């Protein structure tokens, strides 16, 4: 937990999402290394799944390509070890859907993920009410809790009870994807969650530009950017170079 805790020493943090295996397994490791060494404070490392219900078309396409490239949970863990061997020191949070993680075996996953250098999990289709067995199996690595604007007050306390690391705030209802404007009501949403927890609050879904990131970063402790990063890198002839440029741009944007 020390890497994860210290990632928030200087806020707001920049947390890009990127799926392993896209456009190729080797290229994705280069991209994540470039993001890590050019401005990212944490990285949400995607584990591809055939039915990514929380993701929009950009990430769906990228994860399908990653699956076609043969990326699996078993191949993802050596990729993490490679990133650590290359000197990546920031937290790497594995984002994956529950079925592949369950099929791999939560206890085995926890042991091998910790050995590979993972710092936690985000499992968007595993609600807190059903996650006790998984969380116990993967401890001490935390499962990051997610909160949506539609989360009612009485459920908010249950979601945040026992939460670790940080809280992932889904800024809007629907799937991931770039948006032209930030959702109304975001300041009120952040204030409501902040009143219920002392953990850092990171906002994701729909943040597309450094300017939007700056606006969110004035309210939140961290900013998560997925589709905009995946799209730009996916369209590039030099993915790692584009990743480095994006990380520097978002870092500069967050610093105002």
Which residues make Cβ contacts (< 8 Å) with residue 242, sequence separation at least 6? 232, 233, 236
**Phi, psi torsion values for 13, nearest 5 degrees:** -90, 155
Buried b (16+ CB within 10 A) or exposed e, 120-143: bbbbbebebeebeebbebbeebbb
120: left (phi over 0), alpha (psi -120 to 50) or beta: left
Beta-carbon neighbour count of residue 202 at 10 Å?
25
- What token pair was written down for 234? 């996916």
Judge whether 44 counts as a catalytic residue.
yes
Eight-class DSSP state of 172: S
33 is catalytic: no
User: If you search the block for the tokens 């993490």, which residue do you land on?
Assistant: 80
In the chain the beta strands, taken as DSSP E runs, fall at 13-19, 43-46, 92-95, 120-122, 145-147, 167-170, 201-204, 222-225
Catalytic residue among 33, 55, 112, 221: 55
Active site residue: 41, 44, 119, 221, which one? 44
**Active centre residues (catalytic):** 44, 55
């Amino acid at each position: 937990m020390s890497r994860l805790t210290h990632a928030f020493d200087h806020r707001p943090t920049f947390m890009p999402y990127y799926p392993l295996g896209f456009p190729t397994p080797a290229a994705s490791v280069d991209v994540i290394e470039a993001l890590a060494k050019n401005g990212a404070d944490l990285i949400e490392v995607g584990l591809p799944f055939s039915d990514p219900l929380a993701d929009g078309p950009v990430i769906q396409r990228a994860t399908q390509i990653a699956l076609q490239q043969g990326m699996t949970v078993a191949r993802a863990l050596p990729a993490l070890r490679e990133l650590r061997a290359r000197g990546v020191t920031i937290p790497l949070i594995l984002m994956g859907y529950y079925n592949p993680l369950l099929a791999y075996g939560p206890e085995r996953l926890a042991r091998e993920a910790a050995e590979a250098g993972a710092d936690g999990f985000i499992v968007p289709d595993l609600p807190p009410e059903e996650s006790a067995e998984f969380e116990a199996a993967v401890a001490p690595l935390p499962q990051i809790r997610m909160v949506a604007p539609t989360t009612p007050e009485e459920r908010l306390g249950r979601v945040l009870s026992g939460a670790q690391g940080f809280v992932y705030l889904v800024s809007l209802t629907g799937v991931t994807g770039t948006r032209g404007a930030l959702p109304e009501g975001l300041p009120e949403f952040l204030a409501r969650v902040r009143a219920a927890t002392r953990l850092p609050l990171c906002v994701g879904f729909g943040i597309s530009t450094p300017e939007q990131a700056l606006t969110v970063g004035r309210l939140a402790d961290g900013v998560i950017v997925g589709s905009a990063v995946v799209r730009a890198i996916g369209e590039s002839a030099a993915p790692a170079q584009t990743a480095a440029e994006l990380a520097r741009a978002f870092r500069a944007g967050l610093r105002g």
